[in-house]
Structure 1
Amino acid sequence: MIIDFGNPERARFAGRGALAPRLNDKDWQRMMEHIIALSTLAWQEYGVRAVIHPHAGGSIEFADEIERLANDIPHDVAGLCLDTGHLYYAGMDPLDWLDRYYHRLDYLHFKDVDPQVYQRAIHEGIDFFTACAEGVMCPLGSGAIDYPAIKDFLARRGYQGWITIEQERDPRHAAGSLQAVTESLRYLRDVGF
């Protein structure tokens, strides 16, 4: 899995696409070259298919960046790992984006977003990991994302790939993660996954 993350400037603007600085063309191209090189190496040397994970606070987060990535990296080079929580956090409807890029989808991450914590984080300009420490990512079924609709969509499309349930937290404040993931798994079973 390839995630471009580590820029504190972008983390400050997670979820706020109109304010978030974008990479200039030269830096974007260099990132694409690195993704292609890593993906090629992973496949040719280790038989591992790379997937790219757009991530809140990274340089591939918002709609324009995902679209640009999809145009610049062919699917035979790397797939996509879309994350329901990061899509929502970036202001996108997860179901719409799963549909839009289903043909590129190799892997899914499921999270849920507490809408009250999210709105406060966006309005107060709280960085992504601080928002995680404050509980923006909540157990599946207790947040804003419509998992029954996602289940129906994936069933209609015949999705057979992997799905990972995540409870993203600041690692310094990980207490309760196992309980949250257990609740999430129970919820998914209750809605028919």
Structure 2
Amino acid sequence: MNPETSVMQQAQPGLRGPGIFLAQFISDQAPFDTLSNIAHWAASQGYKAIQLPTLGTRYIDLALAAESQDYCDELNAVCAKAGVQISELSTHLQGQLVAVHPAFDALFDDFAPEHVRGQPQARTEWAIEQLKLAARASQRLGLSAHATFSGALLWPYMYPWPQRPAGLVEEGFAELGRRWLPILDAFDAAGVDLCFEIHPGEDLHDGASFERFLEAVDQHPRAAILYDPSHLLLQQMDYLGFIDRYHARIRMFHVKDAEFRPDARSGVYGGYQSWVDRPGRFRSLGDGQIDFKAIFSKFTQYGYDGWAVLEWECCLKDSVQGAAEGAAFIERHMISKASKAFDDFAGVTSDLQSNRRLLGLSER
């Protein structure tokens, strides 16, 4: 079967959901241990799609998926039998390894296979190849978007003290662009958008840094955004205005809640406290401060074409409860776009000459 006509590429355009990202649910215990089991579980919770992490082979063998259409058709069939479809693949952890500052080498080495640990160059090359595999796998699965992180070379210099040397930021983004441009080209060849989650800890952590990256990759048409309002709220950004400004580049949506309650002890930076004690905390859907009615309205207004996917991260509520509540929450916020104007019933016929007469102008 031609990968461009895969069975899962038949979804209707527009805002779709609910979907669920599976990274936080991976386990050796059923029902989270196999693709079939977790797909049936997701369907039983009310989800219509699952977003698959690709590190390891529990749910998908990325290298095999990149080469075998039969294997990808089997994956799609397993999901269809359970009552869901694959919304997107994710290489968040591999994307992180495309660019790692030496200060984080030891912390991020565990994301990589043993044969490249302790070898930053080999690890980067492995990560880049993983992304290229993901491009081909996404194409074979009939997917149109892919989720990842950008990695970070500049994050240790995020706060400008001590003063950053002239040219440091520019060279950091130039190098980031050099590493990602061949990957973006691979996604372009596959017909898939590469969506960077705008996220603290990544060089692409807000709109300004994303714009710098676009400059570094020559405004590449496949360089897109995974929109997650929780990360914008915790930076005290205008997460609704972000949609107004970048909607043309937003091709993926994580539905995740958060709250920010600063006090006299700490604020945006969090004071090295645990998640439960920080002023900014991720919450289960409906328990935080994010205005999802406004977000879903803006996506409908701008014609967003993609899935609304729950990402559960909460320091208080259990993941199973958060997932059980999440599908219904997303379903309640879905909007069927109006097919006609509300005042069409009072419409009048018109033509150029009658319009000119109404304006007090002579006929043409």
TM-score over 0.5 (shorter chain): yes
Confirm or deny: 8 A CA contact 2:177 2:216 kept in the other structure.
yes
Contact 1:117 1:131 in 2 (8 A): no
Is 2:149 aligned against 1:3?
yes
Query: Considering only aligned residues, what root-mean-square deviation do their CA atoms show, in Å?
Result: 3.5
Match runs of 1:60-99 below 5 Å: 60-73=204-217, 74-99=219-244
For 1:42, give the aligned amino acid: F
Q: In the alignment, is residue 179 of structure 1 matched against residue 321 of structure 2?
A: yes
CA contact 1:117–1:136 (8 Å) conserved in 2: no
Is contact 2:197-2:225 (8 Å) kept?
yes
Inter-CA distance 121–6: structure 2 relative to 1 (3 Å threshold): farther
**Counterpart residue number, 1:41:** 186
Match of 2:199 in 1: 55
Q: Distance in 1 between matches of 2:307 and 2:271?
A: 33
**Structure of larger gyration radius:** 2
Q: Distance in 2 between matches of 1:18 and 1:180?
A: 38
> Any gaps of 5 or more consecutive residues in structure 1?
none
Contact residue 75 and residue 104 of structure 1 kept, 8 A: no
Q: Is the contact made by 1:112 and 1:142 (CA closer than 8 Å) also made in structure 2?
A: yes
Identity of aligned residues (%): 23
Q: What TM-score comes out, normalization by structure 2 length?
A: 0.43
Displacement of 1:158: 2.1
Gap change, CA 1:70 and 1:98, over 3 Å in 2: farther
2:285: which partner in 1?
140
The 1-side partners of 2:277 and 2:309 are apart by 20
Q: Structure 2: which amino acid aligns with 1:187?
A: F
Distance in 1, Cα, partners of 2:255 & 2:293: 12
Query: 2:284 touches 2:312 (CA, 8 Å); kept in 1?
Result: yes
**C-alpha deviation, 1:143, in angstroms:** 0.8
For residues 7-41 of structure 1, the C-alpha deviation after alignment (integer angstroms, 9 at most, x for no partner) is 7x948x7xxx677x986221211111212111112
Q: TM-score if structure 1 supplies the norm length?
A: 0.75
State the Cα distance separating 1:140 from its structure 2 match.
1.6
Look up the SS of the partner of 2:268 in the other structure: helix
**What number of residue pairs does the alignment pair up?**
183
Looking at structure 1, the residues matched to 300 and 272 of structure 2 have their Cα atoms a distance apart, in angstroms, of: 36
Give the CA deviation at 1:6: 6.7
1:122 equivalent among 253, 268, 273: 268
Q: Please tell me whether residue 190 in structure 1 is matched to residue 321 in structure 2.
A: no
